[in-house]
Structure 1
Amino acid sequence: MSWLSVTIDTDCGHAEPLADALLDAGALSASIEDADAGTPEETPQFGEPGSPTTPGWTRSRVVALLDAGTDVDELLAACAATAGLDGVPAYALEKVEEQNWVRLTQSQFEPIRVSGRLWIVPSWHTAPDPEAIVLVLDPGMAFGTGSHPTTRLCLEWLERSVTPGVSVLDYGCGSGILGIAAARLGAADVLGVDIDPQAVTAARHNAERNGVHVRFDDSAAEIRGQFDLVVANILSNPLKALAPAICAHVRPGGRLALSGILAAQTEELIAAYAPWLPLAVADSREGWVCLAGQKAA
């Protein structure tokens, strides 16, 4: 079995009406992308909370999947008219053959070596190093598979910082990868919190799969007391707003690490946390930084 993939470049104002018209006319799927993706003109659509974005791309690309027997010219003529376009737009056509989509998707996720002794391994792979500390983690609904630079920075900080018996708080746990790593590295008491109940469900599943005991909750109100180590891999605006709450859970003499911060945001984050805890750049990668510091004893 095969299908046809049709790609049409258009402007922001016509992209959504055209995609809707294609779906109404029987397209199996229709998506809108940035026609300048992968170039210096690429425009992000989703910023962090508190940062305004402009909806839509000036140069948009509509990609639709069609049945193999579709008369593409006829379909596009009708859909273009519905969307308010003048005539049939130029398009590119590609044949899509049936594949083992599960295997194809899995092939895109290989084991990730975080350090000499820490690996992240999808469940369908065998750990490359049987002597390593292995975190079994599959791509899922929650952020944090180890491939993003901010996750790697936090994992590396935890590996340097966790000693047997310490307590760890992961503020904004996502998939639970940081809390699970802390437990595998020897932490005795680990708590992860996230406002997304689905992330908490995924984190609990991942902890069970890895054979570690980590508490996860979807309410920061459940955080009790202070911790030896606190890590928060979120985004700069939420990190600034949460500064008093996050620092309140670092024990005197305890340490804090923050990531999800672009290099250009470093100074404003350091200033935001200065009343409670001095921060400095612990590491950086691909334009992202990890800030870390120790609370006064």
Structure 2
Amino acid sequence: MQLWIRHETAYAYTAPQAYSIQQLHLTPRVEAQQHVLSWQLSAAGQMHGYTDAYGNLSHMLTLNAPHQALTIVASGAVETTAPPGGRIAGNDTLPPMVYTMPTRLTAVTPEITHLAAGCAAGAVPTTNDCMQLAACIAGAVHYQSGSTAVGTTAGAALALGAGVCQDHAHVFLACCHVNGWPARYVSGYIDPGNTGHAASHAWVDVWADDGSDVGWVSVDVTHVRLMTDAYCRLAVGRDYDSAAPVRGIRRGGGDETMAASVQVAQQ
């Protein structure tokens, strides 16, 4: 499948600011199941490309001239194939156990421990175990756009009983931490079809053992399904904070407003 993608992030400030720096995870990862046909990043300022500790193609954007607005646009075409059984063939340099450490967003609460005990068991998960856990979480945290924010923790989303794909991923990761399962956050895009969900998406990779196959299995918790060729992967990390498409800091500028627009379509 060929996906055409356009992602625009626009910031506006109530007063001029002198300096801003943004970390961008807006370039598709180099992986066997996706091939970039064309890709472009555009924004005012200086952009420096690098590969981060998780193997993500990243950029540091610095703007040190006075400005009251900033627009970042990523666009291009990616050819994707469906990974068999959701299995991601990667060239990771980090061992899976790196992804067993809780973070602020995936901290374990008593409620998460209870959920994990009822929905997941075993020292090493199978793909079926992962899907069973995804189904439990999708039932416990109903999809509701606008119900949470980027700083919402897994425990808070579970207590609320509502959230978005990012929250589903965080609750899943927290449950995996209870059992010691290596699991990581994935940010990227999805062709939403007629689901009514956003084209910007988040899901998880879990280190699963199915006997003849051992490795990362990519699970869309929100839709309770394995990753298909409708997905494009941008970045992986321990949680949203380490894999967010855009994160930054600034000096001055007063109040900030941010608007993001993502379009994904089959070519």
TM over 0.5: no
Q: Which has the higher contact order (CA 8 A, sep 6+)?
A: 2
TM class, shorter-length? under 0.3
Highest CA radius of gyration, 1 or 2?
1
The TM-score, its normalising length taken from structure 2, stands at 0.23
More helix by share: 1
More strand by share: 2
